[in-house]
């Protein structure tokens, strides 16, 4: 039996995504309290996220969000990491900019430690992607759009997205090259033709997961 490398590459991306959310979960948390939200999306959810990013980018006149939306559509899947709000009630902290946790909560502020924990989790997750040579980039724009469209639970107040891909050029960084533009043109052609983008059907490199839409979350 001879397997095309696409099959192995797709499996590697998905396995890496699973390891990334695990690494994020086990990353250190302030006072040992877990306020992390983690999910993996592909299929319809990923395409809807890409569409929302393009919509918001146009609405807000921020072209980088539109560009990031194209990259999310190209990606095989996207890891979503966020933080719920949970003040740690530490005396004499004030890292949030308020006098104490009570003042922060009354003003509906955000606990700085939750955000710090999210940053540590992101670093842990992308280190896994780097170890497995899977192309990725941390996108504020993807997290913002996910929150805006209600893809994430309402208690998640800050989030980022990390799209994953394995190609000869890192589409998330090698911007402006001919290869990069060719890949994006292919993605747009597939989308316009109504073909799935960023997913593979069973028998053509599928991981055995639901090829139409997958959203793992906790």
Quick check: 206 pLDDT over 50?
no
Please compute the mean of the pLDDT values over residues 61-87 and round it to a whole number: 95
pTM of the model: 0.82
**Which parts of 51-184 are beta strand (E)?**
77-84, 135-136, 156-165
For the stretch 19-41, pLDDT in tens is: 999 999 999 999 999 999 999 99
**Within its chain, how far is the Cα of 11 from the centroid?**
18
For the stretch 117-176, pLDDT in tens is: 999 999 999 999 999 999 999 999 999 999 999 999 999 999 999 999 998 888 898 776
- Maximum Cα–Cα distance for the chain, whole Å? 66
Spatial CA neighbour of 70 closest among 188, 160, 167, 166: 188
Quick check: 43 pLDDT over 90?
yes
Q: What is the mean pLDDT of the chain?
A: 86
Spatial CA neighbour of 134 closest among 5, 7, 12: 12
Q: Yes or no: say if 142 and 49 are a contact pair by the CB < 8 Å rule.
A: yes
Q: Yes or no: say if 33 and 86 are a contact pair by the CB < 8 Å rule.
A: yes
Domains in the chain, ordered, with CATH?
Answer: 5-158+178-217 (3.40.109.10)
Q: Does 189 or 91 have the greater pLDDT score?
A: 91
Quick check: 191 pLDDT over 60?
no
For residue 173, what pLDDT is reported? 86
DSSP 56: H
Q: How many Å apart are CA 57 and CA 173, to the nearest integer?
A: 19
For residue 215, what pLDDT is reported? 45
Q: How many Å apart are CA 24 and CA 14, to the nearest integer?
A: 15
């Amino acid at each position: 039996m001879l397997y095309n490398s696409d099959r192995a590459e797709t499996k590697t991306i998905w396995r890496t995504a699973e390891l990334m959310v695990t690494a994020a979960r086990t990353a250190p948390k302030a006072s040992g309290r877990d306020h992390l939200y983690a999910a993996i999306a592909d299929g319809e959810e990923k395409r809807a996220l890409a569409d929302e990013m393009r919509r918001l980018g146009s609405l807000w006149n921020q072209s980088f969000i539109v560009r990031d939306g194209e990259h999310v559509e190209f990606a095989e899947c996207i890891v979503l990491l966020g933080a719920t709000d949970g003040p740690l009630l530490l005396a004499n902290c004030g890292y949030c900019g308020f006098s104490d946790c009570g003042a922060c909560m009354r003003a509906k502020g955000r606990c700085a430690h939750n955000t710090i924990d999210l940053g540590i989790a992101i670093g842990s997750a992308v280190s896994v992607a780097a170890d497995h040579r899977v192309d990725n980039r941390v996108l504020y724009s993807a997290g913002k759009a996910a929150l805006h469209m209600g893809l994430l639970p309402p208690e998640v107040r800050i989030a980022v997205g990390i799209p994953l891909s394995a190609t000869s050029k890192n589409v998330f960084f090698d911007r402006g090259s001919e290869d990069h533009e060719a890949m994006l043109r292919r993605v747009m052609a597939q989308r316009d033709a109504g073909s799935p983008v960023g997913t593979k059907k069973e028998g053509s490199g599928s991981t055995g997961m639901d090829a139409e839409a997958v959203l793992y979350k906790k």
